Amino acid sequence: MMTWLWSICLVGFGGFFGAICRFQLGTYMANRFPSSIPYGTLTINLLGCFLLGLLMRYHSFDDWKLLIGTGFMGAFTTFSTLNLESIKQLRAGLWQAWILYTLLSYTGGILLTFLGYYI
């Protein structure tokens, strides 16, 4: 029971700070770089991929994975927002921006996770 409760607290605590960091960085990037490409979500997801790869490589402790991996990164990165913004681009006819955003998000995410893991 105590282990289960501890795990929930770690995930919740990490998620709390991950959500705040996502909001702050996303807002900053949207204001700093207004564009048809959502640079805030792109930056957040790519940074999250790199950091998660780094975490998985160097931290084998379950508590760190719960706190940072599941909690913080789970709330920080945002697959659903990526897909919503992709659909908005398509509906607005921004095909070139959509292709660039999709390629950077998925290819960049995989490459940065790999880089973080093997750094």
- Report the pLDDT value the prediction gives residue 31, as an integer from 0 to 100: 94
Cα 30 from chain centre: 16
Q: How far apart are the first and last CA of the chain?
A: 37
Left, alpha or beta for 61 (phi > 0: left; psi -120 to 50: alpha)? Answer: beta
Give the residue from 63, 79, 59, 89 showing the smallest Cα distance to 9: 63
Tell me the average pLDDT across 14-38.
Answer: 95
Q: How many helices (H) does the chain have, and how many strands (E)?
A: 6, 0
Least trusted range by pLDDT, from 7-21, 46-60, 68-82, 96-110: 46-60
pLDDT of 59 above 90:
no
Give the contacts of 32 (CB within 8 A, at least 6 positions apart): none
CA distances from 66 to 34, 47, 56, 91 (A): 34, 18, 11, 37
Residue 100: predicted pLDDT: 96
Bind-site residues for Na(+):
74, 77
Residues making up the annotated binding site are 74, 77
On the question of pLDDT at 119 being above 90, the answer is: no
pTM, entire model: 0.87
